[in-house]
A and B are shown apart, each in its own frame.
Chain A
Amino acid sequence: MEIDPFIFRLSIFILSIFIGYYVVWSVTPSLHTPLMSVTNAISSVIIVGAIIAALAGSSENIFSTSSTFGFIAIILAAVNIFGGFLVTQRMLQMYKKKGKK
C-alpha cells in the first residue's frame, strides 16, 4: 500500500519542531527580541499562499472574492516581511562589542 503524502509532510513538520527546539535553545537570551522579530518575518512566508490565491483569478475577473482575500493577505504579509527583516537588521546593527564603536 502506498504511503499518504500527508505522512511525509507530518514527518517534516515533526522533525522541524525538533530542529526548532534545539536551535532556539542555543539562541543567546540577549537576542530574544531579534529572535521574535525574525520569526515574525519568516512566518510571513505564508505570502506564497496569498500569491497563489491572488493569481487564481481569471483575466476577466482579477478581483474575484477569493483572489481579493489573496491580495489583502499579500499586503499584510509584505508589511511583515519587510518590516520584520529590516527591524531585525536595525536591532542587530546595534549589538556591539567593547571597544568597537
Chain B
Amino acid sequence: MISANLTALFYLISGILFILALRGLSSPDTSRQGNYFGIAGMIIAIVVTFLSVGSFSISLIYVIIFLMIGGAIGAFIAFKIPMTAMPELVAGFHSLVGLAAVFVAIAAYLNPEAFNLGNIGNIKLASLIEMSIGAAVGAITFSGSIIAFLKLRGIMSGSPITFSGQHFLNLILGIAIFILIFYLCKTQSNNIFWTLIAVSFLVGVLLIVPIGGADMPVVISMLNSYSGWAAAGIGFTLENTALIITGALVGSSGAILSYIMCKAMNRSFVSVILGGFGADNSSDDLKEKKDQKPVKSGNAEDAAFLMKNASSIIIVPGYGMAVAQAQHALREMVDKLKKNDIKVKYAIHPVAGRMPGHMNVLLAEANVPYDEVFELEDINNDFANSDVAFVIGANDVTNPIAKTDPKSPIFGMPVLDVEKCKSVLFIKRSLSPGYAGVDNELFYRDNTLMLFADAKKMTEDIVKNLD
C-alpha cells in the first residue's frame, strides 16, 4: 500500500501525460508519440490505483479479468471497424464513458465509505453535489450518444424529430434536474437519486432527437465535451487529480470543436441545439423555378477528357464520398492524373462529413499524403487559378448562394469557392437539394458538368477512361 500523497503525485503525472498526448496532435509527426504518452498515463493511473487499495484479494483477480474482457472487446472493435464508421464509433465510445460515470456515481452513492465520502444516508454535502452532477451529465452523455449513434448508423432516421412544446419540455426537465439535486442533498433519499438519473437519461434523448444528420459534427463534439465534464464531476467526488485534469481537458476540447463546427456552418450553438434545421426549409415555388433551368450533365468519358486536359485540379470530398466508400477509387484516379503531370490538391471544408476531421481520416486511409490536403482558408484562393474542381459527395459547402442570398438559411456560411474554377465536375445521384434543403445554384452554372451516378462507380469509370 502506498501513501495517499504518493498516489496523488502519480495521478498528477498521468494527468500531465494526458496533456502531452493532446499536445502531440499539433502535427501528424508528433501525434504517434503523443498517443504513447496517453497510454503511459493510463497505465500509471491504473497501476497506482491497484497499489493504493493495497491488500491482495480475490476481488483483485476479478477486476483484472473484467479489465481484460473489456479490453479484448475494445481491441477487437478498434481493429475491425472500417474508417468510414468512425463517427458512430466515437459516438458509441462516448456513450460508454457516460454510462461508466453513472455507474461509478451509483457505486459511490451506495457505498460512500469506500471512497471516504461519509456514511450511507449521511454523505458529505459537497460530495453529494459533485456525484449527482457527475451522474446527471454522465446519463445525458450516455443516452444522447446512443441516439447520435443510432442516427449515424442509419438505424434511426437522420432527419430531425420535432414536436410542439419540445423546447418547453426540455426546459422543464432541465429545471427538474436542479430541483432533484437540491432535494437529494436535503433528504439523501434513494428514490430521488434514481429519479435524477432517469430524468437525465430522458433529457439526453430529447436533446439529440431534434438534431439532423449534417449537424452531427456539432453533436459529437458536444457529447465529447459532456463526457469530459461528467468525468470531472466524478473526479471531484473521488478527489482524484488525474480525473479532474482529464475531465477539464476533454471538456474544453469538445467545447472548442463544437465552436469550430458551429462557426464553419455560420450557426449559433443554440440554434443547432434547438434543432429542426433542414426539416422543411425548401419552399416549393423556389424549387419549381429552378427545375426549369437547364442542367448540363455528362458521363465518365467527358469527365476524363476534361481532367486529362487540365493542368491543375482541386478535389472537394464530402459525406457522399464516405457513404459510397469512394476514397480508394478517388486515390487511384488521382494517381493516374499525377502521372500525366497534373497538379492535384484536396480541399476540405471543416464540416464535410459527420464529424470533425472525418474526410482527412478517410483520405489518409486511402494513402493520400496529408500535405496534399488543405483546409478551407488555405486553399480557397486557389480555385480561381485551377482548371477543374472535382466535387465528390459534397453539396451545401460548395453552394455559392451562401455568399449572395441573405434569405438563404445557409447565408454567411463559409463555402469553398468551387464556382471560380474554369470548370466544375459535380458527382451526385440526383438534383435533390442537400441537407440544408437549399437548392445548389452551382448545378445550373454554365461551367458545371453534372455527373449523375454513385460516387464510387463514377470515379471507377473515370479511372478506366483515363487510360
Do the two chains bind?
yes
List the interface of chain A (C-beta within 8 A of B). Answer: 5-6, 9, 12-14, 16-17, 19-21, 23-57, 59, 62, 64-67, 69-101
Query: With A36-B224, A94-B365 given, can you name 12 additional A-B contacts, CB distance below 8 Å?
Result: A12-B245, A13-B236, A28-B25, A30-B360, A37-B86, A40-B250, A62-B58, A66-B111, A79-B70, A80-B96, A83-B78, A86-B78
User: CB distance A51 to B46 under 8 Å?
Assistant: yes
User: CB distance A80 to B110 under 8 Å?
Assistant: no
* B67-112 residues at the A interface, CB under 8 angstroms: 67-75, 77-79, 81, 83, 86, 89-90, 93-94, 96-97, 99-101, 103-104, 106-108, 110-111
The answer to whether the Cβ of B429 comes within 8 Å of any Cβ in the partner chain is: no
Residue on B nearest A70 in the bound complex, by CB: B107
The answer to whether the Cβ of B355 comes within 8 Å of any Cβ in the partner chain is: yes
Secondary structure of the B contact surface, majority rule:
helix
User: CB distance A71 to B62 under 8 Å?
Assistant: yes
A16 cross-chain contacts in B, Cβ below 8 A? 15, 244-245, 247-249
* B231-264 residues at the A interface, CB under 8 angstroms: 231-232, 234-254, 256-257, 260
List the interface of chain B (C-beta within 8 A of A). Answer: 11, 14-15, 18-19, 21-23, 25-28, 31-32, 34-35, 38-39, 41-42, 45-46, 49-50, 53, 57-60, 62-63, 66-75, 77-79, 81, 83, 86, 89-90, 93-94, 96-97, 99-101, 103-104, 106-108, 110-111, 113-115, 126, 220-221, 224, 227-228, 231-232, 234-254, 256-257, 260, 348, 350, 355-358, 360-361, 364-365, 367, 369-373, 375
Complex CA gap A32/B28 in Å reads 11
A66 vs chain B, min Cβ distance (A): 4
Question: What are 8 A-B contacts with C-beta separation under 8 Å?
Answer: A6-B126, A14-B248, A16-B248, A38-B34, A39-B249, A49-B238, A53-B114, A78-B71
A75 cross-chain contacts in B, Cβ below 8 A? 66-67, 69-70, 73
- Contact A78 to B67, CB < 8 A, known contacts A42-B246, A73-B104: yes
Interface Cβ pair total, 8 Å cutoff: 376
User: CB distance A66 to B114 under 8 Å?
Assistant: yes
Complex CA gap A66/B123 in Å reads 15
- Contact A73 to B100, CB < 8 A, known contacts A54-B59, A78-B67, A82-B71: yes
User: CB distance B21 to A38 under 8 Å?
Assistant: yes
User: CB distance B74 to A83 under 8 Å?
Assistant: yes
Q: Determine which residue in A20, A34, A73, A94 has the highest number of CB atoms from chain B within 10 A of its CB, and name it.
A: A20
User: CB distance A30 to B97 under 8 Å?
Assistant: no
A36 cross-chain contacts in B, Cβ below 8 A? 90, 220-221, 224, 254, 257, 355-357
User: CB distance A69 to B104 under 8 Å?
Assistant: yes
User: CB distance A84 to B244 under 8 Å?
Assistant: no
User: CB distance B111 to A35 under 8 Å?
Assistant: no
